[in-house]
């Protein structure tokens, strides 16, 4: 079956702009999580959605937001982009968020470059 699909794979924006990233989870997976990966900070948790509700949020400013649709697809948005937002944004899906035994399956990521 198809894996986690993230679009776009690469994008370049300038400071002050906003960006929307999309994630389609594995069919049947209802939980979607987002992580930011940078060389300096490594992998950091952004947020987790299940049944269109945000269940958990990492320590990021309000410029970072997300949502989940009824078909479990998710989007994340970053407004007023800063140079430090340049990163690989990874989406992961799982069956449900209830236990850690639910393995996260990651997409290939969206690489954002802010100029």
Partner 1 sequence: AQSVTQLGSHVSVSEGALVLLRCNYSSSVPPYLFWYVQYPNQGLQLLLKYTSAATLVKGINGFEAEFKKSETSFHLTKPSAHMSDAAEYFCAVTPSGYSTLTFGKGTMLLVSP
Q: Which residues bind partner 1 (CB under 8 A)?
A: 4, 31, 33, 35, 42-45, 48, 56, 90, 92, 94, 97-109
CB of 105 to partner 1, least distance (A): 7
Comparison of 78 and 92: residue with beta carbon closer to partner 1: 92
CB of 64 to partner 1, least distance (A): 15
- Token readout for 15 is 């400071």
Comparison of 48 and 85: residue with beta carbon closer to partner 1: 48
CA 9 to centroid of chain Cα atoms: 12
Comparison of 79 and 86: residue with beta carbon closer to partner 1: 86
Comparison of 7 and 80: residue with beta carbon closer to partner 1: 7
Query: Considering only CA atoms, which of 111, 115, 103, 114 is closest in space to residue 3?
Result: 103
Find the Cα–Cα–Cα–Cα dihedral 7, 107, 63, 71, rounded to 10°: 70
CB of 9 to partner 1, least distance (A): 9
- Token readout for 71 is 């078909």
DSSP state of 81: -
Q: Can you tell me the distance from the alpha carbon of 46 to that of 36, in angstroms, rounded to the nearest whole number? A: 7
């Amino acid at each position: 079956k198809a894996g986690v699909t993230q679009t776009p794979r690469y994008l370049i924006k300038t400071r002050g702009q906003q960006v929307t990233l999309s994630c389609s989870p594995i069919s049947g997976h209802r939980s979607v999580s987002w992580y930011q990966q940078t060389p300096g900070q490594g992998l950091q948790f952004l947020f987790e959605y299940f049944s269109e509700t945000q269940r958990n949020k990492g320590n990021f400013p309000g410029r970072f937001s997300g949502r989940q649709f009824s078909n479990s697809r998710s989007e994340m948005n970053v407004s007023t982009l800063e140079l430090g937002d340049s990163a690989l944004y990874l989406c992961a899906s799982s069956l449900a968020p209830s236990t850690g035994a639910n393995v996260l399956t990651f997409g290939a990521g969206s690489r954002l470059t802010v100029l």
